[in-house]
Chains A and B, each alone.
Chain A
Amino acid sequence: MTTAPITRKNFFKRPEKPYVHPYLGGMILGIVLFLAFFLTGNGLGSSGATSRIDALIVDAVSPSHVDNNPYLLKMAGGDKNPLDDWIVPVFFGALLGGFASGWFNGRLKFMTTKGPHISDRTRWLMAFLGGVLFLYGARMARGCTSGQALSGGATLSAGSWVIMFAIFGGAYGMAYFVRKLWN
């Protein structure tokens, strides 16, 4: 068998592989989640990092604004470094891990994933809006699908189970009204 020389082109154009079976993916994710709890006492998460990066930016642009905002003061201000939290390396690790899997499985590609009947622009606008809403809700609930539903679900936190059902409830309740986006 001959191996093709590694060029820029075939580094990024690896053959595309199918996704793993959902139960297998879930099992691996569960083991990762367990190991996180087992070694560090913390689960998985990411929305907290978004907030902390925001706090870093606000602190750099206008430190006095941080001093007048009790919510931001919990993360920044004084000698606090907003990035000094376990969730920040998890966030950047997840970006890198997603990229690595995308590369390994040949899925690195600039594209827009959307329903068949909407334009790219509509999809971009909706993705942005969805991001605004999701993170607003995630901060209100003190965690997102990872920090609450996954991590809190596995530790049997009562509040996390309620949040998990609320997320599914909100999405199923809204699904009918935005069906044109996806079908």
Chain B
Amino acid sequence: MNFPLPEFIVVSAANPWTYVLFGVIGFAFGFTLEMSGFGDSRKLAAQFYFTELTVLKVMFTAIVTAMVLLFGAVGLGILNFSQVWVNPTYLWSGILGGLIMGVGFIVGGFCPTTSLASASTGKIDGMLFMLGGFVGAFLFGETERYFTNWYNNAGYYGRVTLDQVFNLPIGVVVLLVVLMALFMFWGAEQLERIIGKKDLSHEPKLRIAGAGTLFVLALAIVFIGSPSLEEKYDKLTFTRTETIPQLNADPIVNTQTYSADEMLANRLVFIAPAEAFKAKYNQAMNPVYLDVRSEADYNLYHIEDAVNVPVNHLGEIVPVLLSEPPANTVFILMSNDEIAAVQAWKTLVASGVSNVYILEGGVNNWIAFFGADDKALQPAPNPAPDQLAYIFPAALGNRYDSCDPNPIEYEDLEFEAKIQLQLKRDKSGGGCG
């Protein structure tokens, strides 16, 4: 069993149970907030005058509990982290938005979800906060156009987690966060004792045991670690459907499951130059051409719109590939032959990027197909494997005719279609979308 369950990733009318499940999750969420006292604005505001630090305690206990369970499940290999929504980092809009939220918090006495718990239990201030919220969200929608470029680009880093920022194993980060939280809880209790004049002798002793359990679990996660790229690669499965038309009957649809290596061996991820080219004019997909060769080769010759990411730098762009593109994005990898592209394919699919394909025969095959008539391009004698098999008079990049074939001239191309779009969750609607 692999979690999260694919049936529940997208809410849709086709599967009404998704509404029920998310409704139940929301119910438990609201119930817990109310029962922790978050329906009362005084309890929330007290956090910022150091008299009662319930907000910090509840919030950080929730964060570390969920984090330890989550990365425990990831480490044990039952939860696929690449299918878990991780908020992409937009640094500057995040900081400014966060500061504005903070001001709203202390002025209004609630945050959005706690105002729900408050309003639903009859608190008039909670209802007015909710109402104000509708106005605030509306105003944002009306004013976003004035700073849309800043909002969408300033400090954008994609899907980045703290382990990548600090270059530490994820288990170590989990342990450090747990230790930080425990230290903050200790500090919070001291503040309550000194400023809030609270008697701590009646606090349950069980909380020490809870802290110990968290620490031990976090230590365990450090030792389990998270699955390496190789381990993730070995666990990958791909499903392919094949439709066989029948005379006077419904076509037979076969569904097959392949491992990643079988996908390569059966050449199911290699697409002909014709299919790679036609993808550009196909409304259903949004192809991204990733040229994984060296910059020198890229400057000599590359196909129109191809982005140069040398294969050893591929890891750096994975966060962007995972968070940015619409669901119908198809990544088409190319090297001179196929060797570097296959290596790149393994890295990307193991990192959880979907819809990744390889240009069959690489750039050499592309030139052979589209540039055979170009007198400027002469075949090189005895090319080495995964090297350019042509001699270029100058580094013209994408200015050869065959870099951007004429769509009218090549309107009718025959090829065996290999691309099968896997529409994952619409990431733009994920998170607090």
Contact = CB atoms under 8 A, between A and B. Distances in A.
Contacts of A53: 134
B89 A159 contact: yes
B104 A98 contact: no
A31 to B, nearest CB: 6
Contacts of A43: 85, 431
B162 interface: yes
Interface string B55-98: 00111111111110110010000010001111111110111111
Given A114-B41, A115-B45, A160-B87, A48 B26 contact: no
B378 interface: no
Interface string A110-144: 11111100001001101111111111111111111
Interface string B89-121: 111011111111111111111111111111111
A120 B94 CA distance: 33
B394 interface: no
B70 A38 contact: yes
A113 B118 contact: yes
A82 B40 CA distance: 31
Contacts, number: 575
A89 interface: yes
Contacts of B431: 42-43, 45, 48, 142-143, 147, 151-152
Contact of B210 (A23, A44, A47): A23
A170 interface: yes
Report, as a range, how many residues of chain B touch the other chain: 35 or more
A157 B54 contact: no
B177 interface: yes
A159 B90 contact: yes
B133 A50 contact: yes
B177 A156 contact: yes
Contacts of A51: 137, 140-141
B415 interface: no
A138 B101 CA distance: 6
A25 interface: yes
A30 B66 contact: yes
B97 A138 contact: yes
A145 B54 CA distance: 15
A22 interface: yes
Given A163-B98, A171-B48, A22 B65 contact: no
A112 B123 contact: yes
B29 interface: yes
A86 B27 contact: no
Given A144-B101, A162-B95, A131 B22 contact: no
B58 A29 contact: yes
Interface stretch (B2-10, B280-288, B355-363, B382-390): B2-10
B192 to A, nearest CB: 10
B351 to A, nearest CB: 16
Given A23-B61, A29-B61, A169-B99, A95 B112 contact: no
B32 A151 contact: no
Contacts of A156: 67, 86, 161-163, 170, 173-174, 177
Contacts of A34: 65-66, 69-70, 73
Q: Please name the 9 residue pairs, one residue from A and one from B, whose CB atoms are nearest each other, closest first.
A: A130-B108, A170-B102, A93-B26, A131-B132, A166-B98, A26-B61, A30-B65, A141-B97, A97-B30
Interface of A: 19-23, 25-48, 50-51, 53-55, 58, 69-72, 74, 84-102, 105, 107-115, 120, 123-124, 126-175, 178-179, 181-183
Given A69-B145, A94-B33, 13 more contacts: A25-B58, A26-B58, A27-B65, A34-B70, A85-B433, A87-B22, A98-B118, A113-B41, A113-B125, A127-B129, A134-B110, A154-B63, A170-B100
19 contacts: A33-B66, A42-B9, A87-B433, A90-B23, A93-B25, A94-B116, A98-B117, A102-B120, A124-B128, A127-B128, A134-B112, A136-B100, A139-B141, A141-B90, A141-B98, A146-B112, A159-B88, A162-B89, A182-B46
